[in-house]
Amino acid sequence: MAHSRTLVEKSHLLHTHPLSQSPLVPIYKLIAFVAFVILSATLLFTIHDNGRTSIFPSGSIHSLSSEFCPQTMVLVPRANHKLWLNAGEEFNTMAFKASAIHWLSGAIQIETETYDDMGPVGEDPRWENRLQFHDYLEKTFPLVHTYLKLEKINTYGLLYTWQGSDDSLKPSLLMAHFDVVPVNPDTLSDWAYPPYSGWFDGELIWGRGSTDDKGALIGIMGAMEVLLRHGFQPSRTLVAAFGFDEEGGGYYGAQELAATVLNRYGEDSFAFVIDEGGGFAERFGTVFATPGVAEKGYVNVELSVSGPGGHSSIPPEHTTIGILSALLVELETHPFEAHIERNTSSYHLFQCFAEHGTAISPTLRDAIRLSASSDEALREVEVLLFQDPWYKSLVGTTQAIDMVRGGVKSNALPEQAWAVVNHRIATTTSVNATIEHDVALLQPLAEQFELEFSTLGKKISIPGGTPKGNLQLTRSFGMEPAPVSPYKGDASAPYQLLAGTIKATYNAHRNMPGDSDNIVVGPGMPTGNTDTKYYWPLSRSILRYKHLNGGSSNNYLTGAHTVNESISADSLLETFRFYTTLILNADESEEF
């Protein structure tokens, strides 16, 4: 995206270089110069009457350095370049580092846990700690609360609006959530520091929510506070929506926030929506950032086996728990087949690995390249990549038996046994196809155990004689795979802006040359679902990205939802730089 800007700067250097004024310039250099100016003129951005600029070169928004994984150029704010530099200098100070650590530490110390059994807002008192978090934000970020409009949606959801001066520009929307998963009391002794201490040990800030997702929320708030302190006033309206029950599905928080925003602005009214998601990490010898452009579907399948009770001294051949165990083993020994499809974002990410991974094996690199036109090579890619279960889980539909219950006493036959199987549904299939797979797999066993089998209120099979029990398959929640956000072609301007921002942030934070390509951006897909499921109507470009360093791990969620969740102070500082760069870049773009 910053390709045109680079050409402008180079053209300016040619015009001002001493040799350009010298009569001794060789004729071939003069010819080359004229050719360069003509080429530059075809690519230079257009300056419009309103003073805004087009950030993409005419005809293409990619560099031509790669056939299968073209990269966006580094994108830094231009009109607000001095402000961006000044903010960057502030982020480098020890005073700001101390403030940033204090901001997040204080946020962690407020125990905003979400439980699966929480009742409606206004009825369940466990929601009320959210008000403490509201008060904390108001005291911590006074400028944001002075100059932005704040609305509290369904009591605890936070909706900030930073009104821009140009209503013709689509607004942008940043998301985060401030609730956290509960801490298991049995694990307290396993924590290096208490989970709600917000302790800073000189390198890491420890505590529940540090990475999921209070770090991102504090990053957004802090970036806005810094920009206000430097006198920035946006042209493009910026909306920030913070949910309070994402860990419970977002039913009371994000769903109500999204409905409010949709009612106010209408469908497809936002340039982009950005929520938590993929980060960046080293893979195959290269640092890759993977903004999520897609999201798997989701369904919970509940299996319930019922049968006659009685005294355990006279047991049947199979108790309900035994039958349920056989059903679950059948599911686990027959997982969904996983295949790589060429028209998916995951396949295009693999192409990025092949094009830019410096340490990828020649065999895998060649197989990925050949797979664009060879089915045999595509199957070879599956064999090679699926040796790592992370890649197989990324591509296919998964199943996880997460809950099981049965029996009330050791000498009483269990009259019912129950389990929940959580499926994350591949982007190439659907909720119905997933349930049909489970039904087809379990029906023979239902017949073997002489169970009456019903699903979704419909009887699937009835034994010839008297049933020995019942098997019911129901679903408690279902969500289809998300629409894929454009990440290539003319509609991909928001993705390209995000990619250029990632590169600029990465370079600036490490004092690398501004135009050097030190991080590769490819289309990703988070392994979990986010609150964006309620925001689909608002924008075609819903991007799931958190500028968090995942190191060399394949798992960006390390520490989240488990013991010793933490974030490094350095990563936190980079988060402020990222959101600052993103807000300024988006404000200058007129591509959307």
Mean pLDDT of the chain: 89
Of the candidates 473, 426, 478, the residue with the CA atom closest to the CA atom of residue 327? 473
Which residues are annotated binding-site positions for Zn(2+)?
A: 177, 212, 247, 275, 561
* DSSP secondary structure of 300-317: EEEEEEE----BTTS--S
Q: Are residues 57 and 102 in the same domain?
A: no
Residue 73 CB-half CA count within 13 A: 20
Overall average pLDDT of the 198-207 stretch:
96
286 within a domain of the structure (yes/no): no
CATH number at residue 183: 3.40.630.10
Q: Are residues 314 and 372 in the same domain?
A: yes
Q: What is the pLDDT of residue 558?
A: 53
Residue 41 has pLDDT above 70, yes or no: no
pLDDT band with cut points at 50, 70 and 90 for residue 7: very low
Q: Are residues 268 and 324 in the same domain?
A: no
418 strand-pairing partners: 304, 405
Instruction: Give the active site residues.
Output: 179, 246
The pTM assigned to this predicted structure is 0.87
Q: Are residues 407 and 466 in the same domain?
A: yes
Q: Are residues 329 and 471 in the same domain?
A: yes
Residues 377-389 pLDDT 10s: 999 999 999 999 9
CATH number at residue 314: 3.30.70.360
Q: What is the pLDDT of residue 55?
A: 46
Close Cβ partners of 195 (under 8 Å, ≥ 6 residues apart): 183, 188, 206, 207, 208, 563, 565
Count of structural domains within the chain? 3
Q: Are residues 142 and 244 in the same domain?
A: yes
Q: Are residues 337 and 252 in the same domain?
A: no
Q: What is the pLDDT of residue 184?
A: 93
Overall average pLDDT of the 536-552 stretch:
90
Q: Provide the greatest CA pair distance for the chain.
A: 109
Q: Are residues 87 and 59 in the same domain?
A: no
Overall average pLDDT of the 133-140 stretch:
98
Which residues are annotated binding-site positions?
A: 177, 212, 247, 275, 561
Range of the domain at 333: 297-479
Residues 449-507 pLDDT 10s: 999 999 988 998 888 888 999 999 999 889 999 999 999 998 999 999 999 999 999 99
268 within a domain of the structure (yes/no): yes
Task: Give the Å distances, CA to CA, from 156 to 174, 217, 319.
Answer: 17, 15, 46
Torsion angle, CA of 388/72/161/509, rounded to 10 degrees? Answer: 80
Neighbouring CB atoms inside 10 A of 383's CB total 10
Residues 151-191 pLDDT 10s: 999 999 999 999 999 999 999 999 999 999 999 999 999 99
Q: What is the pLDDT of residue 52?
A: 52
Q: What is the pLDDT of residue 32?
A: 42
Residues 346-361 pLDDT 10s: 999 999 999 999 999 9
Q: Are residues 242 and 107 in the same domain?
A: yes
Overall average pLDDT of the 79-102 stretch:
98
